[in-house]
Structure 1
Amino acid sequence: MDTVLLSDSNNELEKAADLIRNGEIVGIPTETVYGLGADASNEDAVRRVFEAKGRPADNPLIVHLADFSQAKEYTTSIPELAYKLAERFCPGPLTMVLPKNDRIPMITSGGLDTVGIRVPSHRVMHRIIELSGRPIAAPSANTSGYPSPTSAEHVMRDMNGKIAAVVDGGSSEFGVESTVISIESRNSVRILRPGCITKEMLSELCSEVIIDRAILHELEAGQKAASPGMKYKHYSPKADIIMVEGSLESFISYVGAHNGEGVCSLIFDTDKECFPYRYMTYGKDSSEQAHLLFQRLRELDDAGAEKVYVRAPETEGVGLAVYNRLIRAAGFEVIRI
């Protein structure tokens, strides 16, 4: 299969929508990362998404809609709190896990009786959903386990020859996947995967915001993943990623004691003036770190890094999302100094 690179012009977006209507797979930009878009109601198309990514079948997909009002077409019930959250955060990088109906096949939901619903704000993704007239299942458009793509170039690297087309919509705005939540009670939610809609933001509308244990720890044996990004090692480059928690001084000392050929560090912008070893930076604050993280993980592979020591980000605000992605990229290997 020849993968076609499309622009974000109206004519090209109509082509992308036609491909999806016809059961094909298209790499599509969103405000979070690029997604591998397919008709969520078409079992054969969804199956090919799993095949293209090499994704385990029990890892659920998120369904993207043009408007939250359409969620009632694919769910059996929607709590009042979900509508309240949608009014504030949709369209945007928030996914809500809701009980699904039969219009969403079990293969799309990873065998669960729930489905993640999201209304993306990116103009290109939003327009393709409208033009196709389909609910679009769109996991990140990368080889399963590898860093998520934040540009069309990343998607072409991973998916060229495996999917019909990729739409180039420029660099992703946020750089990490959407926040995924479940509704726990009338005024309580649980964060299953952190993103740029933070606990602090959700707390403005909810009396209780629970951080699921799986955000910072591995799932227990036999436990089902209620959200993408919970169960398997994810976001990992070919290099061996090791997170290091501690002061800059202790980080420098630790890297110095373990430095060698093939070693590189991923540090904050503010660290570079006094860091004496090979490094890349990934931003001065949590928002920049989220935007740059996956790009930097891919660049580390391009640079031939074999082992990467990462300065651990904070776990407040968007930092929790960055920490979550890194701890999974590291296979939960964290050095605390």
Structure 2
Amino acid sequence: METKIWAVNEIEQAAKAIKRGSLVAFPTETVYGLGADAFNEQAVGKVYAAKGRPSDNPLIVHVADAEQVEKYAMVDARAKKVMDAFWPGPLTIILPVVRGAISHTVTGGLETVASRMPDNDVTRTLIRMADTPIVGPSANTSGKPSPTTAQHVYHDLHGKIAGILDDGATTIGVESTVIDLSVAQPAVLRPGKITPEQLEAVLGEPVDSEVHQVAASEAPKAPGMKYRHYAPDKDVYMVAREDWTQAIIWAQGQLAPVGLMLPNDLIVEHQLAGMNFVWSLGNDDAEAAAKLFAGLRYFDDRDDIATILVAELAHTSANAAYNNRLGKSSSGQKFNVTDFM
């Protein structure tokens, strides 16, 4: 299969592909998603096959407006509050499914369904033109770093999908916050740009922010809770800010180059500007999140790099998504001066 890359002005071709049951990667403000008609079970099954995704890992349904959600989910007053406050935007909402309204292939066999309205005009137009909500897991090989450009998608999925709608690089760079509103106490199942504190302010009630994993025997309600995610083939280690001097000394003593991903102020401080084994995470924490997956992909594709050291950010609510994805990318491995020197 030839995988096409469509410009924004070719969106009609992408919509036609969705309508005929093909797979189309699409842009959002977070990462690129892999789209299929949410009501076409055969097309949804192709998404799992193209990604190599476990069948009990539910998919997020993307909509162009809140009214589309009512076709397949039970939308209550709490859901309407957060939709009004945060949609379109990087928030996924889990609600009870309307029985028989959408396939268990989408929900991973659960009686709940996840939905979001992306803050991307191109994709909302695509959904309207296709005249259907579309499922949209990240458009990458399952378990690998998520794609933030059309070129990342092509690298992983060319020959497996009909096409990619290219709207440039994503702006946020890490996946949406996932909130479970199918339970008595709202719970954040995956951290993202929207924080628990922001959700609490809108809902007027406490939000559990510690439910990010499930046991091996359980079915996850949201992506990222059970299986290995966001991980390059190379060894990745998190580096605390105070450990960068020793980490750089260690890296410079290795026979093979070590990939270093760190913010600009540390690049300047350690005189690393212009080095081809350095990936800038930018000037602030938001920029670091936007550049994280691209940097991991850059070093993972280099044959001369065996190890990647990545800056950990301050442990604040706003940085929870970045540190969560980095923790999964590294399998929790941290650079420890004693162990490495």
Same fold, TM exceeding 0.5? Answer: yes
Which digits, 9 at most, give the CA deviation of each residue in 1:124-148, with x for residues without a partner?
Answer: 1100100111110011111111111
2:191 aligned residue: 194
Aligned counterparts of 2:147 and 2:250: Cα–Cα separation in 1: 33
Equivalent residues of 2:2, 2:162 under 8 A apart: yes
Equivalent residues of 1:184, 1:190 under 8 A apart: no
Aligned counterparts of 1:83 and 1:90: Cα–Cα separation in 2: 10
2:151 aligned residue: 153
Contiguous gaps of at least 5 residues in structure 2: none
1:115-264 matches, within 5 Å, as 115-183=113-181, 188-206=185-203, 207-214=205-212, 219-245=214-240, 247-248=241-242, 250-257=243-250, 259-260=253-254, 261-264=256-259
Equivalent residues of 2:122, 2:167 under 8 A apart: yes
1:274 aligned residue: 269
Structure 2 residue corresponding to 1:112, chosen from 110, 113, 131:
110
Which digits, 9 at most, give the CA deviation of each residue in 1:264-299, with x for residues without a partner?
Answer: 222122111233675322123221111111111111
Tell me if 1:283 matches 2:282. yes
Which digits, 9 at most, give the CA deviation of each residue in 1:160-214, with x for residues without a partner?
Answer: 110011111111121111111012667x521111111122322321321211342
Worse overlay, 272-281 or 262-271 = 272-281
Structure 2 residue corresponding to 1:26, chosen from 24, 45, 52:
24
- The secondary structure found in structure 1 opposite 2:8 is coil
Which digits, 9 at most, give the CA deviation of each residue in 1:96-121, with x for residues without a partner?
Answer: 00111222111111111111011112
Aligned counterparts of 1:255 and 1:273: Cα–Cα separation in 2: 13
TM-score normalised to structure 2 length: 0.91
CA RMSD across the alignment: 1.8
Change (3 A) 1:199 1:134: same
- Compare the two structures and name the one with the higher strand fraction: 1
Contiguous gaps of at least 5 residues in structure 1: none
1:64 aligned residue: 62
Aligned counterparts of 1:43 and 1:150: Cα–Cα separation in 2: 27
Which digits, 9 at most, give the CA deviation of each residue in 1:295-322, with x for residues without a partner?
Answer: 1111112343211122211232431000
Q: Could you tell me which amino acid in structure 2 is paired with residue 204 of structure 1?
A: A
Q: Runs of at least 4 residues of structure 1 off by over 6 A?
A: none
2:316 aligned residue: 316
Q: CA deviation at 1:30?
A: 1.0
Aligned counterparts of 1:221 and 1:255: Cα–Cα separation in 2: 37
Aligned length: 328
